[in-house]
Amino acid sequence: MSNVCQICGKKKVVGGSIVRKGLAKKAGGIGLHVVKNNKRTFKPNIQTVKAKTEHGAKKMKVCTACIRSGKVEK
């Protein structure tokens, strides 16, 4: 099953988790340095909701942003 919102098309995005090491300049050090940049995925908060459509009630996979904004009528 795909993890995509059926209303807005929101899906997972690839990004990076940056690891920094060192003492901040404010604290008397020489600053933070990037040690590692790990790849990671940011997943949308997808919920299965029974929504009203023109053909009756239907189960849909919708992100929570669409549910909160009222784009889906339960």
pLDDT 10s digits, 8-56? 999 999 999 999 999 999 999 999 999 999 999 999 999 999 999 888 9
Looking at residue 53, what is its pLDDT? 87
Q: Using the predicted structure, report yes or no on whether residue 59 has a pLDDT greater than 90.
A: yes
Helices (H), the chain: 64-69
The domains of the chain are located at 13-69
Looking at residue 2, what is its pLDDT? 83
Report the SS3 class of residue 5: coil
Sign of CA dihedral 33, 43, 5, 72: negative
Looking at residue 74, what is its pLDDT? 83
| Per-residue pLDDT band at 1 (split at 50, 70, 90) | low
Q: Give the list of residues 6+ apart from residue 28 with CB closer than 8 angstroms, or none.
A: none
